[in-house]
Structure formats: structure tokens, C-alpha cells
Structure 1
Amino acid sequence: MQVLTVNQVLQWTPFEDNNSKFERILYISPDQDYLYVINLNAEDFPVMRLVEDVSTAILSEEARVVNFSTEVEKFSYESLPDDRKEEIDEAWNAIKELVENEPYIYVSDYRGPMVTDCMNKTGFSMPRVHRCLKKYWRSGKIKIGLLNHYHNCGGRGSDKVATNLTAKRGRKRKITRLEPEKVGINTDDYVLKKFKFAYRKYHLRENLSLRESFKKMLRTFFISLYEEGNGRIKPVLLPREQRPEFKTFCYYVNKFKNSNFIGDSLALVGERRFNLELRAKIGNQTKAALAPGSVFHIDATIADIYLTSSYREFLPIGRPVIYSVIDLFSHFIVGLYIGFEGPSYLGAAMAIYNTGSSKVEYCRKLGIPIAEEDWPAVYLPRQFTADRGEMLTKKNTGLRNLLGVDIEYMAPYRADWKALVESFFNVYKVGAISRLPGEVSMEMRRRGDPDPRTKAVLTLREFSEIMIDLAIWHNNDHWMKGYELDEHMIAEGIKPIPRDLWLWGMKRRGHCLRTFQEDVLKINLLPTETGRITNLGIKFKGIHYKCDQAIREGWFVDGNPRMGQQLNIAYDPRFTDKVILKGENGIGYQELVMIDPDHNAKEKTWDEFLHILEVIDLEHEVYKEAEEQAEAVKGYNRDKITETAKLIKQAAGSNHSKPINGIAERKAMEKELNRAKEHFFYNNPNEEVSFDDNEINGDNVVLSETSINKQEASEEKAIGNARLMALLSEQAMKSS
């Protein structure tokens, strides 16, 4: 059975109707026989109901008890202005004795005299006393319920657009003291549209000031006429009393801003800049990492400093690239790359290799002796977070597929999603680069200022030492004021120092770190593409390579089943001399060397060699027109000669059905005839060796007496040919 209490709200059927009736319980008799309720949907006084009737209605689902909150319950008495507090106190002091006199105040016969007595004491009118009583009861019998709802008056937030019949609004102009008819104009629908247009187009899009936007609006929309003078056309503004004032324009601009603050901010600065600089900065990225190695942030920046050559002293060579890899949980710098590779995948690969390799050896090469505990980071994480730059490539298949490290890509133009590593660029700028010789200042150079390139004195090695010292200081000694320690860290006295957080996280939270052999790490970080087995070698990017296994197993021999098979080959973009052949199913690897030791790609980078191929292809493309022209001439001559021969044969009446016997004899005859003019001592190129018409008889060559004499003469001049003599004798016998 439902227990009824004071201030409960009853809802009566139909429940789904928007006009459903709500009643608040104000009083329940001590013997639980009757109660008084007030209708929250009307301005009626309380009425009495039997408790039994209400309970029966609840059991029969004709009524139900619901949670109901009023608007005044959300207000705070202490935060109200003093004048509003005085209004509440005045109304409360007037009705306090009345509302405490229950249940008689709910009965009209008793309520009348009590209200009259209250009017005589306070000077309130009867409607005002009734209004205070009903507000008090409907609000749940709380004192702040007597608050006047001025905040709901006046249509706050709505545009009160004037019409032609609306009297002039606002303060009178000073000019009306002298000329009363110049009262000005109201902001009607036409003027309001022009205000919106000027604000959005001129102020937000064209980035004009409000005053300039207002002036441009006037000379665009509030023109009475255009007049010509001195050969030029000029606009004439409407009289001042027929156009709006600047302060009115500013008033409505502020309303536009308040009604659509985010939209106007996006239009003013653009979505990209809004997301980076003006967005709401809520939440904490560090909380996304539960332990060391959960997430490493990686990014690159071009250092604001010029370096000099280590081979030719004090000659500037440009600005280096700094790749940073930082653990999200502890803010520990776990990897660095400082050089001139990048921003590119190769630079990122160098930074990742540094992340998973020994920092002691890395610093030793630079002449910086450190202990293992000074930089105890020789691991790869579970996941890298990077932007959609050099890491968004197919070259890092080994990092994902073989090493099992995932990569999360951020959306374009949202550097704030990896704000940790982005903020460290400012740390490098302030903590290491600032005031160094060759620094590139963010301020614009003035005329006469020295070029920072002329001040460069540091080499890449020296600059690397400075950056490594900064990283070691940050990891071991920097107190991070903005780091939020959780309750477990505070209980154990952990300081917000990256190394302390790193070690504590590995001890208390576990870790997601992974260790790999440095050789394996190198191979799998190299970009990987496919090559193909050919009979000339393993062809990769236009160069042929070999290895001992390929020669031993006969990969390049025609008929080998592996001929044409694709292979995964890792390569260093800086060298073409050697590449790495990855084993099948990712197992093992071996070096491939260039077959041709004199190849034009020798001792070149892949970019240089591919550029050479591109230049050759481009030159071929330019030459194609001449090549095609020459080929057309060649084809034309071939077709012309062929067609001419066909016509000669057709004119001679040759028949394909004739016997083809005697081809060998005719070939020998043709050969001997050609020898007469092909030998090296033949000095009469104009003399032709030919047959007379009567010398050709079908498929047999018939030699006349004259021709036989000529042949005999040529036989005597030549050394002699037994085969030719026999052939001539045979032909002579046949002809006789």
C-alpha cells in the first residue's frame, strides 16, 4: 500500500496526456482520514480529499505518485540580490501566521477572516495575499517559493522587432532638443537583417572592426542617391535620422554573439584555429594511460636554431629536426632523434629505434657518459600516438605486423589531441634553444637586424649534447607542477618527477613495455616493399641484387619454380648498395648485394636514383614525338616497297600454283650474282648485273650465249667456283 506524505505530488489519469492533472499534498489529518491538495495546473485554492479515496485511486491505477520539482527549488536564497531577498522576506512575514494555522487556512470559512486581518496588518491587498498563499503552497511550502518570477517576464532572448506602428524606442537623441522631428528610426525587420549581414560578412568573414563594418553597411544599404561630380560618382547617405546609430548596431551584435557564441567563434577564426586555441580544455589526457608503456606520443618539430657544418667550420647548414617520444603516463622522455632526416618516416624510424635501444650506448657515441639508471628506457610501448603525417604510411608494416606495436592516428589539424608531446616543443625552446647563437626569434626581423644564420656556431653533435642534457634533467629532476597525482601516489609520497612516476608505475601498475633485440628492431623499422625474382637477379626498384642462397638454389635459372615470385625487401632510403631480404613468413633475414658493381645507382640514395629514372622517363617522354615520327616514316617506306613489289609481281602474271622446285639453285645463282658487286674490290657501283627478258623462262633460269660469255669472263676474273661451273654446264646442256 502506498504511504502518503506531505509534499508528494499525485498525477491523475490520463497519464500520457499533456494536460494531465497534478496535485500536491499540503496537509494530512492526524487520524489519516482526509487530506488537502492544491491543483498545480490551475489557480484554485486547496481542496479536501479522503485518504481512502486517494489510496483506492492509486491501487486502481487512476492516480500515481510522481517526482515533481518546481523551478524555485533550483534557486539559492544566498545568491539572490538584496532587493529580491527583501521581497521574499516581506511576503513571508505577511503570511507566516496564516500558513502555520493548519488545517483552518485551507477552509474558506476560516480563511476569509484571517486574510482580512492580514490585510489590515500589512497593507497588502486581498489578491496579493491570495497570490502569496498559492505560490507558497504550490512550491512545496518553502520560503523561496514566494520569489517573484521576474526572470520569466519580458521575453528574454527573443527579438522584439519593431514595426511601422511602433513608437520610437530607446533614449531620445540630443538633437531632438533643437529639432524634435529628428527622433530617429526603430530597428525593424529590414534594419535587423542588415545588422546580421554586416556582422557576419564584414566583421566575421572580412575581419573588419565593428566600426568599419558599420560604416561599410551604411554606404552599402543606407544610400539615398548617387551623384556625379568632377567626373566621379559618389554615394549620398540618408539623413542621420533615417539611418541607425553605431551604438544600436553594437547592441544587436552583442545579442548575436550571446545567442550563437560558438558558431560566431568558428566563423571568426575558423574551425582549425578554434579547435586548437579556443576550444573548451576539459579532461586530462594523462588519465588515458594506466601504466608506463600504455601510450607513447611521437611527433617532430623543426628546431628554431641554425647549425653549422662539422666539416667546414662556421658555415650554416640549416635547422635540425627534433623527434620526441614521450610516455603519456609518466611524461618520461623515452626517445629522441636530432638530425636532418625529416620530417619523414626515416626520421620517425630513427626516433623509434632510439626508443627501444640503449641510451647509454647512444650517449657514449656523443661523448656523454651516463649510467643506466639515468635514462632507463629501452622499450617499445603497446601503442604509439602520432599525427597523420610520416607515420601514416605502408612503410611501417614491420612495426605493426611483426613487432606488434599499434599506431593511433590523430585527426587532421588536431595537435591538441596529443598535446603532451606538442607542449614539449615549447620546453625545448625555453629550456635549451633560447638565447643560443643562431636562434630563430619568433619576432619579425626588423630592417638592419643581423641574419641568425650568420650567428650559428653549434654543430649537430654539440646541439645534440645540449638536448640530451635537457632530456636527462627533465626525466630525473624536473618537478611537474601541473601533474595530477592520484590518491595512491600521494599516500606513498611519490613526487611528480618523471623518473619517480615511471618507476612507481612499473612497480604498482605493471607496464605494457616490450623489449626487442636491436638488430631485429632495425630491420623491422626499415621501410618494406616488394621485389621480384627474375633470370637477371632479384629486381627491386630497377636494380638487380643477389645473395648466396639465391645462387646456391638456382633462383635465377629458367624453369625454377620460384621464378617471378614476389619478395619482401627492407631498405634504407639513404643507401642503394645493400638491401635486406626478409624471410618467408617473417622468419629470418639476409643481405642482398648489388650484382653490377658499376651500376649508376652505386653510392647514391634511393631518392637520387629514382630521380635519375624519373629524369630519363621525362626525357623519353619528350623524345617520343620524334620517335613516333621516325617510326611512321619507316612504316610508310616498308608499306610502299611492299605494295610496289606486289604490283610488279601482279604485272608479271606470276602464279602461286607454279612448281617451287629449284629454289636452292636460284638462291645459289642469286648469291653468285650479288657477289659480283658485293666484293671489297668492286669499284663500279653504277654497273648493274641483270638478266635479259629472254633469260627468264618460268621457274628456270635460261642463260643466253651472251650471258654465258659474261659468266665465263667473270669466272675467269674470279678465283673460280666449281659449284658455279657445274651449274652453268648443266644449264647449257638443258638449253641445247
Structure 2
Amino acid sequence: MQSLITNQVLQWAPFEDNNSTFERIIYLSHISDLLYVIDLNKDDFPFKRSIEDVTTALVSDEARIVNYISEAEKMTYELLPIKRKKELDEAWNFLKEYVENEPYIFMSDYRGPMVNECVEKSSYSMPKVHRLLKKYWRSGKLKIGMLNRYDKSGGPGSNKLATQDTKKRGRKRKITKLEPEKVGVNTDATIHKHMMVAYRKFHLREKLSLRESFKKMLRTFFISHYEEENGKSKPILLPREQRPEFKTYCYHVDKAKKSNFIGSSLALIGERRFNLDKRAKIGNQTKQALVPGSIFHIDSTIADLYLASSYREFLPIGRPVIYSVIDLFSHYIAGLYIGFERSYIGAAMAIYNTGSSKVDLCQRIGMTITPEEWPLACLPRQFTADRGELLNTKTTGLRTLLGIDIEYMAPYRADWKALVESFFNVYNVSAISRLPGEVSIEMRRRGDPDPRLKAVLTLNEFSQIIYDLAIWHNNYHWMEGYALDEDMIAEGVKPIPCDLLEWGMKRKGHCFRSFDEEILKNNLLPTETGRITNLGIKFKGIHYKCEQAVREGWFVDGNPRMGKKLNIAFDPRFTDKVILKGDNGIGYLPLDMVDSNHHAKQKTWDEFEHIEEVISLEKELYKEVEEQAEAERGYRRDNVVEMAKALKQESGLSNAKLIDGIAERTAFEKEMLRRTENFLHVETNNELPEQQVQVDSTSIEQAEVIAENPKRQSSGNSRLQALLAAQN
């Protein structure tokens, strides 16, 4: 059985009812078998109960003891304003001697005289003394429970809008000293509605300032009438005492902002900027990575620096792009790419540099380092990137063949990969700041020198500065914001990336994956399909070949490989060479362009596709001319045929006779053409002599007679013999 204690709270059945009764025990006497309780839901004085009755109710489950925390128990005396402390101390000094006189203070016969005496000693009224006593007992006999809760007075959260009968609120206007009748206007429901419309529509939606939105509200809702002046209408505002002041408008706007701060911020700056700049920064992204190599963040930024040409150092060039790859667990910079590639190939170069030797990487730009300074040359289990370069079908090899996952962040949520985003500021502050050619964050004012004219660093020199910064960060930078866990603190691990990486690999393992650089390079290249033709392997409009294909006769008609689709990996920067991926993903074959004089030679794929698109567009534009000319040609052909049909005479001969003798007639036509086609023949007249025409006619008739009787033909050319006989 539970023992009863002062300040316990009893809940009486039914327990599931929202109106269940709660009583606090404020006095307990086992000698007299009574206790005093006060109903927490009513404004009544304490009353007594029998301890035996309460105990019986507890045993029979008609009542139970519950954990009940009053609002006074959540308050702190030390944090109260000085004025409220004085008010509370004053009340306690007057009531202390009476509330400690238990149990007589609970009895009405004794309590009345005590209250009267307190009223006489203090300036309090009797209802106030009664109210303070009840608050003290309901709070569990806590001194701070007597504090007046002004924060709950006046209906918090509701607008106290004026009506027609409400007296003018607020401080009097200065103008009332001269004109007492101009007291101003109260904010009633109509004016408040106009203010909220102006706030939401003019300030939030149209992005006007508060002052401008207030002015637009006046000329929209507080117009007395319109007047015509010089043929134009102009609005006349209501008198100033009949419209609200700007400070009144600001007061109600401020209340609206506080009641819905997030909604107001979203409407004012938009969800994208709110997520980036105003969001609640709760949590620690580093804890998402359980071991080194589990998650790498990758992203790019444009360096705030103009560079000089590597070939003509006095000529400035553009700003390079920096791709960063960072291990989320240790904040170790695992890879970098600095160049001018901003498409997928730039991200692929960064990933390739991540998985390859950093000694060779630095050597290519003229920088010498030891393997111990930058040892990591591995890929992770997962890349976290935004919806940019890696969000395409070109990452097939990275995901399927190399087995690396890619997690894409939502658009406009750079805060979801805040680690790599924060490093962009590190580059600007620690490396780019004060370099010649730096682009100032502040807008360049008129007359300031152009930063492009100050560019002196080449790409290799700038890369050396950034790589040196990465080495310093990995090996020496103490990260003050890194949250060490208990195991790290116990073992004395320093928040330095290389120490965190080494400790994590030893104690927790890792997810790093190592690949051959050639395999890595080939799998990072984008892959599309080509087809075997008799002209070569056709890929995106260009034909390629290799020695194995020629030797095995891939391009010979009838070969079973003809028309087969192949997987081709290519570098978007060059069209000269591509790579043929073997069947079932096994093996690689380099392919060379068949036509060494092709116009795509030494061009990027984008340039070649642009040229092809231009040619295709020109062909489409020329198609109308071609179709028109073809229609005219067909029309002329049909006319010639129709005219020939009209001039053809019926011979009256059978089909067999018409066909027979074609060779002789052809020979005659050939002989006649030779007279005009002979290079040594000089024509003096385009028309044949009349005698010649007669001879030819006779020859044709004789030839036809001979053709009718083949037996009369000699062993020689009968057509020629007939022609010679006619001439003789």
C-alpha cells in the first residue's frame, strides 16, 4: 500500500475522463487521521478528508497518486526581473507567518481573522490575499507560486481590435496640443484587415519595404475621393487623423511576424534562400559517416581569381574551377581538380585524382611531394553530390562496375553537404585572398582597377598553391569545430584530419577501395553505343578501326558481327580516339579514326556535334530548294516521255520483228553518232546534206530488208555492208 505524503496529487476516478478531479495534499496529520487537500481545477479553499477514506480509495482503485508538475515548479526565481522579485518578496513577507500556521490557516473560523489582520498590515485587499493563498497552496506551497502571471493576462495571441465605442488608444499625438479634436483613429477590424493585406501582398509578395508597403496601403485603402487635374485623375487621401500611422502599421506587422516567423521568412526571401541562410542549424553531419571512406562529399566552385595564360603569360584568361573531394569522417581532402572543365568530365577528373597517386598528380604541375605527405589514393563506398555533373547516365561505370554509390542532394540545398561547401570559403580566405588577380567579393566601383589586368599566376602555379593548402590542412590543421567522441578523447586523438583518418582506420575499419589507374580512367569515361558497319565501327557519326577488327574481318560483308552494337567509352574533349569495351565488360581496345583527314579531327565532341547540327540545319533549309528543283526535273522528264509517245508511229510489224535486228540498228545509230562525235571532225553545218539524208534513208530500208531475211546476211556487219552498198 502506498503511503501518503504532503504535496502528493490524487486523481479520482474516472481516470480516462478529461474532467477528472485532481487534489493536492497540503497538510497531513496521522494523529488526528485527517488531511487537507485543495482541488487543482477549482478556485476553492482547502478542505479536509479522512486518511482512512483516502487509503481505502487507493486500495479499491477509486483514486491513484499521479506525478503532477505545476507551472510554478518550472520557474526560476533567480531569472525573474528585479521588479517581479520585489513584488514576490513583498507578498511573502506579509503572508509567511499566516501560511506557516497550520492547520489553523485551513480552517475558515481561524483563517478569517488572519486574513483581516494581513489586510490591515498591508495594502492588499481581501480578495487579493485569498487569491495569493490559493495560488500558494495549488503550486505545492512554493513561494514563487504566488507570482502574478502577467504573461497569461489579456488573451495572449489574440488581437484586441477596437470597436466604435473604444476610447482612443495609445499615446496622444503632438497635434492634439493645438487641435484637440484630431485624436487619431483606433485599429478596428477593417483597418487591421487592410494592414494584413498590405503586409502580405505588398511587402511579402511584391518585395516592397515596410515604408513603401505602408504608402501603397494608404493610396489603395484610405482614399477620400479622386480629383481631376490637367486632364488626369489624382487620389486624395483621408485626413491624417482618419488613417493609421506608420508606427501602428509596424506594430501589427511585427505581431504577425512573431506569430508566424517561419512562414513570413519563407514568403519574404523564398524557400531556397531560407534553407541556405535562415534554416535551423541542428545536428552534426560528420556523425553520418561511421568509418573513414564511407562517404566522400564532392562539389565544385569557381575560384575568385583570374589567371594568366601558360603560353603567353602577359595575357589574362578566365577563372578556374575547383573540384573538392573530402572524407566526411575525418574531413581529409582526398582529391582535387583545378582546371576549366565544368561538365561531367571535370567531376570525373576529380574522382580520378582521388583514386590515383598524389605524387604523380603534383609532379604534373611541377610540384614535388613525398608519398607520406598525401598518401590517400582510394575511392569511397559512396559519393554525396548535388544534382549537377554526376546526375546523368554517364556514371554507369562508376556505379555498376566500380560498385560506388552516388547520393544526390535536393536542389538548392547546399547545406546538406555543408562540409565541402565550407571549404570554398577556406580556399578564398587561406589561399586566394590578396593574390594578384583576385576578384573582390564586394562589387567593383567605378574607377577601380580591373582584376583581370593584374593576373600573373598560371594554372600550374595556382594549382601548387591550392595543393599546398590541402597538404597543410590534412597534416597540420587543428579543427576546432570537430566534435570528438568519447573514444577519441580517451585515446588522445587530435582533431587533425590525418590523425582522425589513421585512428578511424585502426579502430573502426574503413570502406576505402583501390583500383588500377587505367581501369579507373576507363570506367570514369562516359559510355555510349556504336555499331559495326562495312566502313568501320560507327560511333556518333564517325567511323573507327583497330588492328584486331581489321585482322578478324569485322567490316567484311557477311561477317556475323556486322550490325552488332558495341559499348564505346570516349573522352568528351577529344574525338581522335575512343575505347571499345569488350564483351561482357571484359577488356578494352583503343580505336583510331578511320579517316585521318576527317573534319572532326582535333575537335571536341561538343564542337563536332555542333558542326553536324549546323550541317543538318542547313540541309533542312536547303531541302525546299532541292525538292523544287526535283519537281521541275520530273516535270520536264514527263514532258519528254509524253512527247516521244505522241510522235511514235505505228510500224505495223509484229513484236518479234520489232525486236529482231536491234543490234544492227544500234550499230547504225553508233556509226551515225561517230560522224558528229569524232574529235577530228569539223562541222560546217549542223544539218546533214539532202543527198546524205537520202543515202541514209535508203540504207535503213536496205538494212530492214536484210534484217527480214537473215540468210542474206554475210559474215561481216550486215548493217555496214548495206550502208556501203547504198553509197556505191
- So what's the TM-score if we normalise by structure 1? 0.86
**One-letter amino acid matched to 2:573:** R
Unpaired runs of 5+ residues, structure 1, are: 688-703, 730-736
**One-letter amino acid matched to 1:572:** D
1:259 matched residue in structure 2: 259
Q: Distance in 2 between matches of 1:634 and 1:17?
A: 99
Q: Secondary structure at the match of 1:591?
A: strand
1:486 matched residue in structure 2: 485
Q: Distance in 2 between matches of 1:595 and 1:663?
A: 54
Q: Distance in 1 between matches of 2:142 and 2:675?
A: 132
1:439 matched residue in structure 2: 438
Report whether the alignment pairs 1:150 with 2:150: yes
Q: Distance in 1 between matches of 2:452 and 2:130?
A: 85
Q: Deviations over 1:353-401 (max 9, x none)?
A: 1111111122223232211111112111121111111111111111111
Q: Distance in 2 between matches of 1:685 and 1:724?
A: 28
Q: Distance in 2 between matches of 1:356 and 1:420?
A: 20
1:228 matched residue in structure 2: 228
Q: Secondary structure at the match of 1:313?
A: coil
Q: Distance in 2 between matches of 1:366 and 1:344?
A: 22
2:701 matched residue in structure 1: 708
Structure 1 residues 73, 637: CA separation in 2 closer, same or farther (over 3 Å shift)?
A: farther
Q: Secondary structure at the match of 2:571?
A: coil
Structure 1 residues 123, 267: CA separation in 2 closer, same or farther (over 3 Å shift)?
A: closer
**One-letter amino acid matched to 2:71:** E
State the shift of 1:619 in Å. 0.8
1:665 matched residue in structure 2: 660
Report whether the alignment pairs 1:276 with 2:265: no
Q: Are the counterparts in 2 of residues 94 and 122 from structure 1 also a CA contact under 8 Å?
A: yes
Report whether the alignment pairs 1:544 with 2:543: yes
Structure 1 residues 670, 3: CA separation in 2 closer, same or farther (over 3 Å shift)?
A: farther
Matches within 5 A, 1:285-434: 285-341=285-341, 343-434=342-433
Q: Distance in 2 between matches of 1:364 and 1:706?
A: 93
Report whether the alignment pairs 1:140 with 2:140: yes
Structure 1 residues 128, 638: CA separation in 2 closer, same or farther (over 3 Å shift)?
A: same
State the shift of 1:477 in Å. 2.4
State the shift of 1:511 in Å. 1.8
State the shift of 1:326 in Å. 1.6
Q: Are the counterparts in 1 of residues 297 and 325 from structure 2 also a CA contact under 8 Å?
A: yes
2:194 matched residue in structure 1: 194
Q: Deviations over 1:520-573 (max 9, x none)?
A: 111111111111223332221111222344344443344444333322211111
State the shift of 1:215 in Å. 2.5
State the shift of 1:291 in Å. 2.7
Structure 1 residues 643, 75: CA separation in 2 closer, same or farther (over 3 Å shift)?
A: farther
Structure 1 residues 433, 647: CA separation in 2 closer, same or farther (over 3 Å shift)?
A: same
State the shift of 1:11 in Å. 3.0
1:527 matched residue in structure 2: 526
2:554 matched residue in structure 1: 555
Of 667-676 and 378-387, the range deviating more from structure 2: 667-676
Q: Distance in 2 between matches of 1:191 and 1:643?
A: 91
Of 704-713 and 418-427, the range deviating more from structure 2: 704-713
Q: Distance in 1 between matches of 2:543 and 2:338?
A: 34
Q: Secondary structure at the match of 2:529?
A: strand
Q: Secondary structure at the match of 1:78?
A: helix
Q: Distance in 2 between matches of 1:216 and 1:721?
A: 116
Q: Deviations over 1:661-693 (max 9, x none)?
A: 567427557646754665563789889xxxxxx
Report whether the alignment pairs 1:249 with 2:249: yes
Structure 1 residues 285, 685: CA separation in 2 closer, same or farther (over 3 Å shift)?
A: farther
Q: Are the counterparts in 2 of residues 576 and 602 from structure 1 also a CA contact under 8 Å?
A: yes
1:502 matched residue in structure 2: 501
State the shift of 1:8 in Å. 3.1
Q: Distance in 1 between matches of 2:656 and 2:253?
A: 108
Structure 1 residues 685, 677: CA separation in 2 closer, same or farther (over 3 Å shift)?
A: farther
State the shift of 1:207 in Å. 3.7
Q: Distance in 1 between matches of 2:332 and 2:262?
A: 36
**One-letter amino acid matched to 2:277:** E
Q: Deviations over 1:265-318 (max 9, x none)?
A: 222222222221222222222222233212222111222222222222311222
Structure 1 residues 77, 313: CA separation in 2 closer, same or farther (over 3 Å shift)?
A: closer
Q: Distance in 2 between matches of 1:371 and 1:326?
A: 20
Q: Are the counterparts in 1 of residues 306 and 319 from structure 2 also a CA contact under 8 Å?
A: yes
1:632 matched residue in structure 2: 631
Structure 1 residues 144, 594: CA separation in 2 closer, same or farther (over 3 Å shift)?
A: same
Q: Distance in 2 between matches of 1:119 and 1:451?
A: 82
Q: Secondary structure at the match of 1:202?
A: helix
**One-letter amino acid matched to 1:484:** A
Q: Are the counterparts in 1 of residues 326 and 332 from structure 2 also a CA contact under 8 Å?
A: yes
Structure 1 residues 129, 570: CA separation in 2 closer, same or farther (over 3 Å shift)?
A: same
**One-letter amino acid matched to 2:580:** L
Q: Distance in 1 between matches of 2:578 and 2:247?
A: 73
State the shift of 1:405 in Å. 1.5
2:510 matched residue in structure 1: 511
State the shift of 1:146 in Å. 1.7
State the shift of 1:433 in Å. 1.9
Structure 1 residues 685, 256: CA separation in 2 closer, same or farther (over 3 Å shift)?
A: farther
Q: Are the counterparts in 2 of residues 10 and 63 from structure 1 also a CA contact under 8 Å?
A: yes
Q: Are the counterparts in 1 of residues 9 and 68 from structure 2 also a CA contact under 8 Å?
A: yes
State the shift of 1:107 in Å. 4.4
Report whether the alignment pairs 1:681 with 2:676: yes
Matches within 5 A, 1:616-655: 616-636=615-635
Structure 1 residues 467, 120: CA separation in 2 closer, same or farther (over 3 Å shift)?
A: closer
Structure 1 residues 248, 675: CA separation in 2 closer, same or farther (over 3 Å shift)?
A: same
Q: Distance in 1 between matches of 2:35 and 2:585?
A: 84
Report whether the alignment pairs 1:600 with 2:599: yes
Q: Are the counterparts in 1 of residues 661 and 707 from structure 2 also a CA contact under 8 Å?
A: no
1:697 matched residue in structure 2: none
**One-letter amino acid matched to 2:567:** N
Q: Secondary structure at the match of 2:226?
A: strand
**One-letter amino acid matched to 2:701:** I
Q: Distance in 2 between matches of 1:339 and 1:541?
A: 27
Q: Deviations over 1:31-61 (max 9, x none)?
A: 6955443222222333444455445545555
1:696 matched residue in structure 2: none
Structure 1 residues 131, 667: CA separation in 2 closer, same or farther (over 3 Å shift)?
A: same
Q: Secondary structure at the match of 2:420?
A: helix
State the shift of 1:188 in Å. 1.3
Q: Secondary structure at the match of 2:160?
A: coil
Q: Distance in 1 between matches of 2:447 and 2:152?
A: 64
Q: Distance in 2 between matches of 1:186 and 1:192?
A: 10
Of 1-10 and 584-593, the range deviating more from structure 2: 1-10
**One-letter amino acid matched to 1:618:** L
Q: Secondary structure at the match of 1:132?
A: helix
Q: Are the counterparts in 2 of residues 297 and 325 from structure 1 also a CA contact under 8 Å?
A: yes
State the shift of 1:196 in Å. 1.9
Q: Deviations over 1:50-99 (max 9, x none)?
A: 45544554555544443332222221122122333334334444444444
Q: Distance in 1 between matches of 2:224 and 2:133?
A: 60
State the shift of 1:519 in Å. 0.9
Q: Distance in 2 between matches of 1:99 and 1:450?
A: 81
Report whether the alignment pairs 1:38 with 2:43: no
Q: Distance in 2 between matches of 1:138 and 1:667?
A: 132
Q: Are the counterparts in 2 of residues 32 and 51 from structure 1 also a CA contact under 8 Å?
A: no
Of 675-684 and 364-373, the range deviating more from structure 2: 675-684
Q: Distance in 2 between matches of 1:112 and 1:310?
A: 100
State the shift of 1:713 in Å. 11
State the shift of 1:727 in Å. 14
Q: Distance in 1 between matches of 2:238 and 2:686?
A: 103
Of 561-570 and 176-185, the range deviating more from structure 2: 561-570
